[in-house]
Copies of this chain bind each other. A is one copy, B any other.
Amino acid sequence: MSENLKLENQVCFPIYNLAKEVIGQYRPILAELDLTYSQYLVMLVLWEKGEQNVSEIGSQLNLDSGTLTPLLKRLELKKLIERKRKASDERVVSITLTKEGKEKQALAECIPTKIAEALNISTEDLIELKTLVEKIVTQINKTK
């Protein structure tokens, strides 16, 4: 067969695999906080920025309302956030952290360290990877 359709020559397969692998490393660690990886990302945004509406969260995480609405409802069900429509613009749903949601941040502090250990990579490789990946993402978005 032609070389370019061989699995080992695919560039995107390792990326797809790495992403799954990395999220798999997060899974048991985040499970202790009763969070999924995507939920954790939303919490990171809220811990850092405070009150945000759905589309603001979406633009930072590259997720649309089809993904976020049910996810946010689950976070609300866990009493970590509140969803409330803005009086100034009833179309906009404002997301705020509850007391419990804010408190969860302290428990999350150790996660980056735990992940770094689990991934078992040197800081240099990690930075190199991050730089390269971001460069490529920027490159891709340039063409849009």
* Residues of chain A having any CB pair with chain B under 8 Å: 1-2, 4-7, 9-23, 25-26, 37, 41, 44-45, 47-48, 60, 62, 105, 108-109, 111-113, 115-116, 118-121, 125-126, 128-130, 132-137, 139-143
Report the Cα distance A36→B21, complex, angstroms.
Answer: 20
A133 in contact with B47 (CB, 8 Å): no
Which residues of the other chain, B, contact A136 by a CB distance below 8 angstroms?
Answer: 18, 119, 121, 125, 129
A44 in contact with B10 (CB, 8 Å): yes
Given A23-B12, A48-B1, A62-B17: A140 in contact with B113 (beta carbons within 8 A): no
B143 in contact with A14 (CB, 8 Å): no
Q: Could you pull out 5 A-B pairs where Cβ atoms are within 8 angstroms? A: A7-B60, A15-B18, A16-B37, A17-B137, A121-B139
Tell me what chain A mostly uses at the interface: helix, strand, loop, or mixed.
helix
B128 in contact with A132 (CB, 8 Å): yes
B139 in contact with A133 (CB, 8 Å): no
B12 in contact with A26 (CB, 8 Å): yes
Q: Which residue of B lies closest to A122 (CB)?
A: B139
Report the Cα distance A15→B20, complex, angstroms.
Answer: 9
Q: What's the least CB distance linking A144 to chain B, in Å?
A: 10
A11 in contact with B126 (CB, 8 Å): yes
B45 in contact with A7 (CB, 8 Å): yes
Which residues of the other chain, B, contact A45 by a CB distance below 8 angstroms?
Answer: 7
